[in-house]
Each structure stands twice: as C-alpha cells, then as structure tokens.
Chain A
Amino acid sequence: MSSNTLTAAEASGPHKPAAGFEGDRQDNTVGGAVRGYLNKLRAGDLGALPAILGIIVLGIFFTVLRPDTFLTPLNLSNLLVQATPIIVLAMGLVFVLLLGEIDLSAGVISGVCSAVLAQLLVQVGVSWPIAVLAAIATGAVIGVFTGTLVGIIGIPSFVVTLALFLGFQGVTLRIIGQGGTVPVREPVIRALANENVPVTLGWVLAAVVAVAYAAFELWRWRSLKSRGLAHQPLALVVARVVLIAAVVFGVTAILSVDRALAAAIDLAGIPYAVPLVVVLLLVATFVLARTAFGRHVYAVGGNAEAARRAGINVTRIRVAAFMISSSLAAISGILATSRLSSVTPDAGAGNTLLYAVGAAVIGGTSLFGGRGKARDAVLGGLVIAIINNGLGLLGVAAYLNFIITGGVLLLAASVDALARRRAATARR
C-alpha cells in the first residue's frame, strides 16, 4: 500500500485520535456525557430509565399504602426470592429477544426441567448435582430442538414456541402424573430460596463484588484514556461505582437484619438465590458484551443479512441463543422448585412466561431485536416482582392482579414500539 499521500493524518501518530472525531473528545467531559445521554433519550433509546423509575415509583406507592409491611426486611427478602425465577427466565429470553425472535415456551420448559429435577430426586433418588445437571441438560436439548426448527427449518419462532408451549405442558403432566404434586425436600435445592448466606460471609461477598467492580471500572477507564480511546469522564465512572456499591451494601445491610417474626428464631442473611442471580448476571453480561459470540448475537438481531455477509453463521447463533434461553429456563425452574419446595403438574404454565417477557421488555430489551442487556432482566424482574408482591400485600383480587400485570406489559411494549419509531425518524 503506498502511503505518499497520507500526510497530516499519518504525522499525528498512529495512536492519537484523528482530527474529526470531536465527539470522542467532547464526551470526556461530564457535560458532554450528559448531552450525549440526553441525545440518546431523545432518539428513543430509554435504556434502563423506565425500569429504574418504575422501581422507585412503585416502591414509594406501596410503601405509602402499606407502610408497616412493604418496606420491612422480611418482605424485601421475600420479594427478592420471588423475583429470582422471573429474572433468570427473563435473562434467557433476552438472548432470544436480541435476535428479534420470541420463545413463548420458555415458561413451560422451566416446568419440564423442574419436573425432571423433582422426579430424579424423589423417584430415582440421585444426588442433587446430578439432578441439577440433568435438568439443565434437558433445557439445553429442548433449546437446540427449538433453535433447529426456527433456524434450520425456518418456521417462525412465534409458531414453533406456541406449539411447544402446549406440547410441553403435556410433557410436564406426564412426568409429574395427573393431579399429583411432587414434594422436593432435598436440603440443597430447598436451601436456594429458603436458607441464607451467613451474615459475615454475606458482607465479605458484598465487599468483594463492590471492590472488584470498582477496580475493573477504574482500570478500564485508565487503560482507555492512556491509549487515547473513547472513554467516559472519570466523574461518571466514579458515580456509577459509588451507586453500585451503595446498592450492594444497602441490600446486604437490609438482609443482614434479623427478620424473624418470632424472637426465638434467627433469620438473617442474603438468600442463596441472590448471589446465584448475581453470578448469572455477570456471566451473561460478559458473554453479550465482551465475546465475539455476543457481538454476533447483536449483529444478527440488528441486520441478519449484514451478519451473514460478514461471514457469521447466523443459523448457529440462532440455535445457540435458544439453547441458552432454555438452559436458563431450567435454572429458573430449579429456583421456582426451591421456593415452592414442590413441583406441580402446571409448573411454569399460566403467567410465568408473561412475567418474564414483561421483565425483559420493562428492563429495556426491545421486542424488535438488536437492543437489550442482561441487566434488563434484573431491573424488569424487580419491577414485576414489586407489582406482584405489593398487590398481594394490598389484598387485591386475583382478577385485578392479572389485569394490572397485563397492562404493565402492554405499557412497556408500547414504550418499546414508540422508541423504535422515534429512532427511525431521528435518523433522517
């Protein structure tokens, strides 16, 4: 390649930002970052804003209506445990939604997997690790099956998973047996949702998470800055680190209070399910944001034809996304089993899936594909759990609970659709 004409740009050195990328330098100031964020909002990318506002507004709403029950450590720990199966199911759905597909059978797949888990533990009498692995493997196999029908045969995912939604309810019914409920008393499985991390260990874990997050963010900021690459202003990075640390320590503090109703019992610490969700969140975020696979998931969701021409195996990505979704559905099923200490023939049916889709969409994942994050499942899952928990405390009739939750999902989907339209017009 001849380079006799590359004068000005070359002379400025290979690693200095080239002239013309004013935005990269502007964004390094807090003002620039705020302007950038406002521009993003105006262009229709609301990100986590609706979910965070939802958590705050709903929190205030239920605290005002039920001041002596909603904001107690006992109820908050309950709320978190209720949220975990929804969050994990939604986290799996994020992968499928990112491709612009849908998995309507994710809920009942969690039911099938928990039925497999329960029968292996109770009927066959295997140890819990084998039962857990078998349940997750069942989910993975089902996911590959779904992904094959969608990605290779080419049936719309809506139809495939609608058919499976019906079919797998039959499978669960067959495994559990009509009318029966299989009680699961295995101590480790039960402990997930019903036992707590010792208080001291909880604080240590919280400190490790907060310090590791701070160290990683600051290291990244320094290395980007030293190489002259696009980076956020330090103040913003510090603010985010402080916010995350405050949330982590705040939740730990609340859950470390003895919340037992009877004075004789000691009930304190973080439920085991919570650190499990944190680990899943970290892994899913890593996969989506830092690996080539994650990048390709976004690319397929954004423009499948561009991804194909770039040499990405689109079919493989589709199958993998469904496999991840169903595997996480299995873990969600295990958490639900732990919470209820049993598996019913209708496990995972009813509104399980609706809650999870709602959680992902409220969190900011688009139903049109290409936009979303693993953390959306956590934020949206908390919103759904707060609604559910709060309405329960208010003693609202079941019919109203359905209507309100359905309404919230519609609202989130409308925000998503409007944001998309806004983004389309903002480009012109």
Chain B
Amino acid sequence: MSAPVESTTPPALERPTLSLRGVNKSFGAVQVLHDVHLDVYPGKVTALVGDNGAGKSTLIKSIAGIHPIDSGTVEFEGKPVQLNGPRDAARLGIEVVYQDLALADNLDVVQNMFLGRERKQGIVLDEASMEEAARDTLAKLSVRTLKSVRQLVSSLSGGQRQTVAIAKAVLWESKLVILDEPTAALGVAQTRQVLDLVRRLADTGHAVVFITHNMVDVFEVADRVAALYLGRVAADVPISDVDRTQIIELITSGRSGELGLAPDALED
C-alpha cells in the first residue's frame, strides 16, 4: 500500500514516526511547553499522561498544526517538517480524534467518515465506492459492533461513535493517530471495545498517541508511556519500566525515584 522501501523493513523501534526535540511553546508570557522531547513509534501505543494543565492539549494541538511551535525541531519519519496548520499535519498523515468527536448526527457512518473528502464521479457522489472503502477500513479494524454502515450516527452509542471517529481518522492512510481521552464518559463494555480498537490501530502499523487519565487503560493498551509535568516531559519510557505508583508520582510531582525531571529543572 505504501512505498516499497517501507514494506521491506518491518516496523521497527529504531525509527520513530514522530520525533520532537527541544520543543517550546508560549502563549504570551505563559510558557506552556518546555524543551519537550518525545518519540512516537509505529505499531506502538504511546500513552500521554499528565495532570490537568500539564500541557497535553497544547502538545497535541502543536502536533496537529493548530498551535505552531515557537522553537525546537519536529521530525516525521526521519525528515524535519514544519507544522504550521492542520493541513500540513493532514498531508503528512497525522489525524487527531478530538474528545467531542465532531460527527454530524444526521448523517450515516459512511457519510461521516468521508465528510469533506467525498469521492465523486463528475459531480455525482460515488456512494458505492465510499461505502466499500468504509467497510474495508472497519473490517481491517475488526469492528464488529456496528449493525450497519448506513446507520445514522444519532442512533449510535458513545463507544460506537468513538469507533466511527477513529475509523474516520484511519481511512486517510494516516500514519499517526492521536486520540484525546477516547474512553472518558464510556461504560465498561464500551471502554473495552475502544481499547481493543486502539490496540488494533497499533497492530495495523499506526503510531498511536493515547491521552488518558485512567491508569487501568494505560496498562491495558500502552506500549510506552510519556508523562507530562508542568509542560515538561518527566519520562518517556516503555511501559515495562514503570508501575502504576511511579506513573502517578511522575504525573503529580514530575519525579519518581531515578525517573523523572532533575530537581533543579523543577525550580523555575
């Protein structure tokens, strides 16, 4: 599907899909991101954790091109890139699924997945090809919870909506999918569905960034965890290197034993 060079080399840990180095971002006098280093790998789920106000939203909006960074470098698949607008991000294959999902209730699943990027034959919408592509994408993600791809979104449950929003992001040959608290406000069974889907996203070769407050979710699906503390990355490590208590310490104080920010970094 993608370039032949990539298909010969299996998704490896060596080259991150996205790599941030020394990223800073301020809004006026308030510096929100300090010297952020972050690597996101293909086929891996990176959980991005941090307390409210730690800079998670700003960070993903910078990656999405909504808040262009002030300084630092961003590399995408090894090449330095400028992210000055949402279109730049979309062109590279970065898709963000925001918390409010942005689905039109009065349209069906297929129509929502292709919204704004409809396939056409002349001026006529090519419904058949869009429906086939939507089915293929949902099938690849092993989505079994939808009764019909021609169901109106208004008739879907919260988990199903999340599924549609994620499938929409995947439809566009995306390489990096960022999910903003996809399991917030979901019930137990629906959280299960969404977590399974997040796992399959990574298993199909996507790099996934998964923002959450829920430690159970983190240990359920994440391969790596990145903790933000007051705009700094306190740790960016494999999940096997940390336990629940350590992650909570990193979130609340920026340090946990050997891990975390040096005490002097926390001074200013």
Contacts and interface: CB of A to CB of B under 8 A. Distances in A.
A297 B117 CA distance: 14
B176 to A, nearest CB: 12
Interface in B121-150: 123-125, 128, 131-132, 135-136, 138-140, 142-150
A62 interface: no
B107 A298 contact: yes
A5 B200 contact: yes
Nearest to B143: A20
A66 B71 CA distance: 82
A224 interface: yes
Mostly helix, strand, loop or mixed at chain B's interface?
loop
Contact of B148 (A9, A27, A295): A27
Q: Tell me which of B98, B104, B125, B128 has the highest count of chain A C-beta atoms within 10 A of its own C-beta.
A: B104
A8 B105 CA distance: 31
A18 B148 CA distance: 10
Contact count band on A: 35 or more
B204 A5 contact: yes
A1 B154 contact: no
Nearest to A231: B150
Given A1-B173, A427-B155, A292 B148 contact: no
A262 interface: no
B148 A24 contact: yes
B115 interface: yes
A17 B105 CA distance: 24
Given A306-B115, A310-B115, A427 B123 contact: no
Interface string B100-122: 11111111000110011110100
Contact of B128 (A2, A12, A229, A310): A229
A299 interface: yes
Nearest to A428: B157
Nearest to A303: B104
A226 to B, nearest CB: 10
A23 B102 contact: no
Contacts of B131: 229-230
B4 interface: no
Nearest to B90: A311
A351 interface: no
B154 A423 contact: yes
Interface residues of B, number: 52
Given A1-B2, A1-B204, A2-B205, A12 B139 contact: yes
A311 B149 CA distance: 23
Contact of B146 (A15, A20, A292): A20
A310 B139 contact: no
Interface string A81-120: 0000000000000000000000000000000000000000
B11 interface: yes
B103 A18 contact: no
A51 B140 CA distance: 43
Contacts of B206: 1
A290 B132 contact: no
A6 B204 CA distance: 7
B132 A227 contact: yes
Given A8-B142, A295-B111, A309-B98, 18 more contacts: A1-B204, A2-B205, A5-B203, A21-B146, A26-B147, A227-B128, A229-B132, A230-B148, A230-B150, A291-B124, A295-B115, A295-B118, A302-B106, A303-B102, A303-B104, A306-B101, A306-B103, A423-B154
